[in-house]
Chain A
Amino acid sequence: MIYEASSEAVILFLLFVGFTLGLSFWLGRKGQSSEGYFAAHGQIPWFVNGIAFAGDYLSAASFLGICGMIAVYGYDGFLYSIGYLAGWIVALFVVAEPMKRLGKFTFADALDAKFNSKGIKLAAGISTLAVSIFYLIPQMVGAGVLVQPLLGFDHWVGVVIVGTVVILVVVTAGMVSTTWVQFLKGSLLVIFSAILTWMILERGFEVQTGGIDGHQFKILGPVEIDDIPEAISAVDLGITDTQINMESAAVPFVRINHAEGAPTYWTMLDNGDGTVKLLETQTRRIVAEGELVNGQLKGTEKGQAELHPVGYVSKLPDGKQKTGPLGLASFFSTLQNSEVVLWNHFDLKIEGESDTRVYYQKPTLGSQVLRPGEHPKFAGIRKESFVGKLNFLSLMLALFCGTASLPHILIRYYTVKDESSARKSTIVGIAAIGFFYVLTLYLGLGAMTSGALDVTDSNMAAPLLARSMNTWLFAAISAIAFTTVLGTVSGLILASAGAVTHDLMGTVFGMEMDDQKKVRVAKISSVIVGVIAIVLGILFEGMNVSYLVGWAFSVAASANLPSLVMILFWKGVTKEGVIAALIVGMVSSLGWILLSADTFKEVYHMVDHPGYTPFGQPGIVTIPLGFITLILVSLMTKKTAE
């Protein structure tokens, strides 16, 4: 789709971002000692810290990724909501208080409290860096996504803007301002999502045949296969021949060649009685002159075309056309008995032509939309093969274990004054985050039926949903989401900078640093990490941000959780055990991800490569591996330690 900026959206957006930055700079004046820069002097009130948890946590992944995944595939995106929230239980019941008790600035402090070992600081510092950078990727991708429909910029411009602003925030500010900015955004995000949910319920469902641009997608038939050319000539002129193809794509389709202009494609839906329905598609192809959309050059001028927005209900229960306002429960029960047109795509490789991507309609029952297992990555749970089920278990395990191992969440325990505040702020965080996650299901399904979806990018669903309601709301939501990305990214960069300064430079390399120098080193590292994040954010464009975050959780859980938990509950842990567990967990999970089929397809663009791992999600193998390594190495080195 082509996005044009609307001036009121831009104004509101700039005001909001300007206010946040101003606030951040103003608060940042106070934060210039290292204690202030990294831990806000331990002076943040617990309630504020709790909402700031929500601000840190409800990042691009939650707002954009989950809503997007639900909007395109249905319930499966909500699995992430469930897993992300469950992780907080581990954080609250197991990790929060000891973390606060043992540490000071970084997560390595807590691991190292008993041993005072350079090796642990080094390993934990590197793991913090690895996890933070991995987690930064989806945030940056999300930033690009937000800027596109709002300001009309390209993806990479969005990424560069966010990167630059974040580096500015982090360099001038520190943990005090990051926290207050997160508090502000965390509350606004939850409030505005609630408003949006209310509007979705008020709007209800309406039967449509196309998206909000007014284009009505044609469905022809039922026709006998032999009558297909005739049926299509009734709506499509200048046809020279019709090729029926049952094999080479995910669904059978018909290619229609014309005397002039590009071919068009229709997919076939088998009625089971020898007849088929023909469904209009949308296509995209790169040619010498530029991008062809639906056979015409992409653009908004006459004779040009753009992809139509999609996502609508095609049938309602009892043959109704419109439901009117719905309640919290009737929203689901109505959708359960309706039919929704989802969109999917396949790629065609035809000799002598550049590749064509065909987006096709997929009428789907509401009962299917609302059950797990429709997303291709989760489809394994509906098949016989055990590997698909393992992949699912692995992801759910990583989500459960990952939260409590994320460095930027862990450092937030040092911004409150004591263990009781750590506990209370976690509870506030769970309340705010849980409420938001309940809303994600409404937001995602609301976007699915909003008629505003972009078939090329699932991450865009939530902002486009808001735009289909109201431009001002869209501007407000985008501004909040954008600054939330800013805040999460600054939290992550601060965590990385802390790791570099305290764990690597200070302890491992034995650099003597006074307070000012510490802050300076931290700022320089922030700039470097920021630049890395920008580059990665551009490289990973188009991948669903929730999926990327799932990987970051796997790395965090595999590398950090075994040591964190075992130090708390087992006296036999040795420093060698901790170091080994950190390294093995980090290397094995990162290695697994980089060698998985998903990475070959999405990142290296080697579509048919099977990858070298049996399934995509490493957690179920690499988290236990971290624990086993820790126990074995600790047992082996016990004597030396004594």
Chain B
Amino acid sequence: MDEKEIGIYENVLEYISLELSQILKKIPDTYKSNVEEIRLRNNAPLSIYIKGSDFFITEEGIPTKNKDKARLVNGKEIIKTFQLISNYSLYAFEEEIRNGFITLKGGHRVGIGGKVLYGNNGIETIKNISSLNIRIAREKIGVSDGVIKYIVAFPRTIHNTLIISPPQCGKTTILRDIIRNLSNGLPIFGGAGLKVGVIDERSEIAGMYNGIPQHDIGIRTDVLDGCNKRDGTTMLLRAMSPEVIAMDEIGSISDVEAIHESLKAGVKVIATVHGNTLEDILSRRSLSILIKDKIFKRYIFLDNSKGVGTVKDIIEGDSFTSIKK
């Protein structure tokens, strides 16, 4: 288990400029297997995030809380890292850079900070890169095994489900694992699976790299990568005949339209949204329509009280009462 986690970390280091990756290679194994983010900022300490708290890294590769001992990252190293991340090919990542991040092999994501340039069609590119945030993706296979029984309905379908959670609590991780479970087939259904269409607007669910999903999303899953939810729903319904459509981070009016569209076609929806409580969601106009119309039959609330992806509560959508046992 740990060996694999360390392997993931070391693979990510391949994308960091040599000077820095050699330092990062020296940190203790216990840290390696838990690193969530590696942060490079121009003229700021090299730092890593582990379980919500940050550590600075010294020249010798020792994590510390003392910022004076930390190794500073310089602009040249950021540029080199950026070259490695973009595979020396900025032109191949125009679209990704406009969105502010690049997906690496393995589904890891790199957020980019710098000077944003506008052109005729909105954001053109980012130059003078000043910071990079490398988020290490760690898929947790099996995290949804406990919730899946609340979602399924008979015969062989699911309830429309909304996953509500604050950031960094495992929304996407749990959604991905639900997709995997439904798609691979469930014992409750006698092993049968559902056809799942994934609209992966932020390339976070499947982590597509060169057309290959970098995370396990199951055998009956079709992915529209980087597609917006409105267009994606139409495209999936037109030809992919999904039984379930999964999407991440809904919020805008057009997302709500997309959900209505799928419901009209009799397709079930699983979606995630930022928030802490049902009131949070109700206070957002576009989403409150969905809740008042009782479209979702299950609300899953997450927090990180017992680690990332802890299920805080599951609420039934008609009566708004907890059904978590």
A-B complex is real: no
Residues in B lying within 8 Å of A, measured CB to CB: none
Residues in A lying within 8 Å of B, measured CB to CB: none
